[in-house]
Amino acid sequence: MFPNPEGRSAKLTQRAMQVLPDGNSRSTIRLSPHAVYVKDGKGARVTDVDGNELLDFNNNFTSLIHGHAHPGVVAAIQEQAPKGTAFGFATEAEIELAEMLVSRADGFDMIRFCNSGSEAVMNAIKAARAYTGKGRIAKCEGAYHGSYDFAEVSLGSGPEAWGDENRPNSVAYSHGTPNGVLNDVIVIPFNDVERSEKILNEHAHELAGVLFDPVSTQIGLLPPSPEFLDMLVRFRENSGALLIFDEVIAFRQGYGGSQGLIGVTPDLTALGKIIGGGLPVGAVAGSREVMDVFRVDGKKARLPHGGTFNANPLTIVAGRAAMQDWTPEAVDALNAKGEACREALREAIRIANVPGQVTGSGSLFKIHIHGREIHTYRDTYPIGLEADRVVALNHRLIGNGVFCSSYGFGCLSTASTDSEIDQLAEASVAAYRQMREDGLYDAD
């Protein structure tokens, strides 16, 4: 099944290499030795071009809250497409989706749409700068917030560059990142109240905001401690810097997102993924006072914000259909399935008798390929053979008919059933056993 050097996916990869750098348009979906090309998807399953069926626990990196080709979303797109897909005018549907979303969280008085989570994070940072008149931001070491260069600083940074834990370095993610960008991003250690508060206080006078993801995948889905959240709120109150939540993934955790569950109301929230029903989307939501930076006052807004496809009706009607079916009951049912899934994955680790642990909450899970205690980003960083195990687990899971992600992270959709969770657990046991045969656990 995977890898299959003779299959159509392998041949398409070779063809893609001729016209697409590295064969794709998206570093996050890269697979070696060849990509898997998908023919179609329905519910919790996809079929590849070689006819293999895969259980999909990736759901386009968490964006498909109802799985593939959800009937309500398909119907909404089919109804809208013949009427036009994008206009240089406003449409009523935009107001309807905005109304649905602002009714869900205390932190959302107003909302502004864009086309991706990266854009949402970028616009939230720019809004914080425009509101405070300050240029710098702070973020947690390791955290992923999309591809805006300020948000990328210290993403996935490793031991060779991360520096002293008392004062983590601002590490460039892409070659050629300007020093000015690194200089304007202050990096704090997740869940380390004392060190983070000290660093933030030193920069209190120059920070526009603190960017924070309550369920950071790159920080191993470790839950933020109440003390760390209190510290962030305290810092906001003492400094005037805004609290910016990145809920591009986290919004799926509760009816009102993660903020509703942890009881912290940020000034700004970056949204994306599920609110577009599977189509490209992003949004910034926030308090009326802060969101006012987008309003034209006199000749120009403090933060002018265009975008040819912002709030295009195809995305908006798909998002509206998805959100209509994302009821409080649907959220609770999915999150209960999430707990059962994490338990099944833990049981798989016990049955295969390999080191490992599973973190996550709501509908998200992350498989850690070691048994070390993990409290901080640096603890979660794979060391030595662990990095090989992470890659091998992804490959072996695909070979056993399941797709999560290249780093042991996955999610459920409302289309996931108990039997699919059982199959995920069985595939995990088979994958771990194959990895043991491959010698990946010999050093333990």
CB 282 within 8 A of CB 119: yes
Asked if 409 is part of the footprint of ligand PLP (rule: CB under 6 A), the reply reads no
Q: Is the peptide bond before 33 cis (omega within 30 degrees of 0)?
A: yes
Residue 271 or 429 having the CB closest to ligand PLP? 271
Our finding on whether 246 is near ligand PLP (CB under 6 A) is yes
Binding residues for ligand PLP, how many (CB under 6 A)?
Answer: 13
Question: Could you say whether residue 224 binds ligand PLP (CB under 6 A)?
Answer: no
Examine residue 145 and tell whether it contacts ligand PLP (CB under 6 A): yes
Q: How many C-beta neighbours within 10 Å does residue 329 have?
A: 9
Q: Identify which range of 2-10, 64-72, 115-123, 290-298 contacts ligand PLP by CB under 6 A.
A: 115-123
From 89-97, 112-120, 400-408, 416-424, span contacting ligand PLP (CB under 6 A) = 112-120
Say whether the peptide bond before residue 3 is cis (omega within 30 degrees of 0).
Answer: yes
Q: What gap in Å lies between CA 129 and CA 302, rounded to an integer?
A: 10
Q: Taking contact as CB under 6 A, which single stretch among the options 34-42, 101-109, 141-149, 374-382 is the one that binds ligand PLP?
A: 141-149
Q: Please work out, in degrees rounded to the nearest 5, the angle formed at the alpha carbon of residue 281 by the alpha carbons of 275 and 285.
A: 65
Residue 277, phi-psi category: left (phi > 0), alpha (psi -120 to 50), beta (remainder): left
Cβ-based nearer residue to ligand PLP, 48 or 152 = 152
Binding mask 295-334 for ligand PLP (x = CB under 6 A): ----------------------------------------
Which listed residue (113, 144, 235, 403) binds ligand PLP by CB under 6 A?
144
Minimum distance, C-beta of residue 62 to ligand PLP, in the bound complex (Å): 7
Minimum Å gap between C-beta 281 and ligand PLP is 8
Stretch that binds ligand PLP, among 110-118, 125-133, 323-331, 403-411 (CB under 6 A): 110-118
31 touching ligand PLP, by CB under 6 A: no
Q: Is 80 in the site for ligand PLP (CB under 6 A)?
A: no
The residue (of 146 and 362) whose beta carbon lies closer to ligand PLP is 146
278 by DSSP, 3-state: which?
A: coil
Nearer to ligand PLP, 252 or 368 (CB): 252
- Asked if 277 interacts with ligand PLP (CB under 6 A), we say no
- Subset of 42-71 contacting ligand PLP (CB under 6 A): 61
- Helix spans in 189-312 (H): 193-202, 226-239, 257-262, 288-291
Cβ atoms 152, 226 nearer than 8 A: no
Whose Cβ is closer to ligand PLP: residue 189's or residue 272's? 272
Pick between residue 170 and residue 253 the one whose CB is nearest to ligand PLP. Answer: 253
Give the C-alpha separation, 220 to 369, whole Å: 11
* Among candidate residues 73, 122, 126, the one with its CA nearest the CA of residue 315: 73
- Please select the residue that binds ligand PLP; options are 13, 58, 80, 118, rule is CB under 6 A: 118
Binding range to ligand PLP, per CB under 6 A, among 88-96, 168-176, 245-253, 337-345? 245-253
Binding range to ligand PLP, per CB under 6 A, among 116-124, 168-176, 254-262, 338-346: 116-124
Tell me if 272 contacts ligand PLP by CB under 6 A.
Answer: yes
Q: State the residue number with the nearest CB to ligand PLP.
A: 117
Taking Cα atoms as reference points, which of 218, 223, 254 lies closest to residue 139? Answer: 218
Q: Tell the smallest beta-carbon distance from residue 411 to ligand PLP (Å).
A: 11
Could you give the CA distance from residue 237 to residue 68 in angstroms, rounded to a whole number? 43
Q: How many helices (H) and strands (E) would you count in the chain?
A: 15, 16
64: nearest Cα among 433, 421, 412: 412
248 binds ligand PLP (CB under 6 A): yes
Q: Counting beta carbons within 10 angstroms of the beta carbon of residue 130, is it exposed (0 to 12), middle (13 to 18) or buried (19 or more)?
A: buried
Rounded to whole angstroms, what are the CA distances from 209 to 21, 132, 136, 404?
35, 8, 7, 33
Q: How far is the CB of 32 from ligand PLP (least distance, A)?
A: 20
C-alpha 34/C-alpha 37 separation (Å) is 9
Q: Please tell me whether residue 121 binds ligand PLP under the rule CB under 6 A.
A: yes
Q: Does 249 bind ligand PLP (CB under 6 A)?
A: yes
Position 287, amino acid: S
Q: How many CB atoms lie within 10 A of CB 174?
A: 10
Structure tokens at 333: 């049912």
Query: Which residues contact ligand PLP (rule: CB under 6 A)?
Result: 61, 116-118, 121, 144-146, 213, 246, 248-249, 272
